[in-house]
Structure 1
C-alpha cells in the first residue's frame, strides 16, 4: 500500500492486480447451441391503439435454459419500471405465467392499460427476458389508430 500526504490530509491508495489467464488450444472451434432466451412476441414496432380504451399486450419468451426457475420476464416503459411510472395502477403488469407448446417451454407476462391516454403514445414499452444464459428485449410503441390510418 502506498500513502501520500497533502497539507491537512493523508491519503492511502491500494492497487488491485488482476491476473487473467487465457488458455489457447488448437483444433476446430465448435459453437455450442445458443441457449440465450428469445422473445417470440411481440414483434418490435408500433401497435395501433384507440385512446380511451383498455388495452392488453402480452410478451411471450422462450427461456431456452435448463433450470426454469432462473428465468424472469418483465416490462419497462422508457427504461423505467412500470410501477414507478404508473404508481396508481392505470397500467400494470400481469403475473408471470408459463406453458409448454409443441415441446417448447414459454413464459409470458402481459401489460394491461385500464385506459390508454395521450401520454402513453410514443413511449417505449420494452419487454425483457433474462436467464443465466443471457437476455433479450423487444420494444413496442403505442400509436393512435387514427394517426396510423392516414
Structure 2
C-alpha cells in the first residue's frame, strides 16, 4: 500500500498572522542559500563601519551628502539602503529632494565593503527634523545607524525695556 501524499506546504506553515507563511519560506530560502557557504568558514554579521557626516551642521539651502559604509560576508545577498522616518527615501521624497546614490562594492577578504550615499539637493528644515537611518541587511542579520543633526540654537532675542 502506498504512503499518502504529503500535505501541501501551505497547510503545514504557521497561520493566524498575515505574511507568516511568506516569512517562513523566505527564512528557509535564505538558510538554504547560505548554509553551504558556512561549512568552511565562520561568517560575520553585516555591520555598518562608517557613517560619514560633515563636521559642520548642515546649512539650509545647501547641497549635502551623507555616506554609509558597511561590511558583509555575503555580498550577493546583502542590501544597503536608507530610510527616512522608517520609509524608503524615494517614497518619502517623491520630489527627488533627497535621493540614494548607487551601491558601490569593494572586495574585502572573503566579503565586501558596501558604500551608499544619501544626497540632499537643497537641505531644508524638514530634513533637519527627519530621522534618516542607514540599514545593512543580509540573511545573517541587520545593522542600522541613525543620522542626528543638532538643530541650530535660536538667535538670542534682545529685550528692550521701556
TM-score (norm 1): 0.67
Q: CA shift at 1:143, angstroms?
A: 3.4
Matched residue of 1:147: which SS? coil
Q: Which residue of 1 aligns with 2:20?
A: none
Say which structure is richer in strand. 1
Q: CA shift at 1:93, angstroms?
A: 0.3
**Which whole-Å CA distance do the structure 1 matches of 2:47 and 2:114 have between them?**
10
Say what the alpha-carbon RMSD is for the aligned residues.
3.2
Name structure 2 gaps, 5 residues minimum: 1-10, 15-40, 157-162
Report the CA distance shift for 1:101/1:50 in structure 2 as closer, same or farther (over 3 A): farther
Report the CA distance shift for 1:139/1:122 in structure 2 as closer, same or farther (over 3 A): same
Matched residue of 1:48: which SS? coil
Structure with larger RCO (C-alpha < 8 A, sep 6+): 1
Q: CA shift at 1:64, angstroms?
A: 2.5
- Kindly tell me the number of residue pairs found equivalent between the two proteins: 118
Matched residue of 1:83: which SS? helix
Say which structure is richer in helix. 2
Name structure 1 gaps, 5 residues minimum: 1-14, 19-31
Q: Which residue of 2 aligns with 1:94?
A: 101
Q: Is the 8 A contact 2:63 2:123 kept in 1?
A: yes
The list of structure 1 runs, each at least 4 consecutive aligned residues, that deviate by more than 6 angstroms after superposition, is 15-18
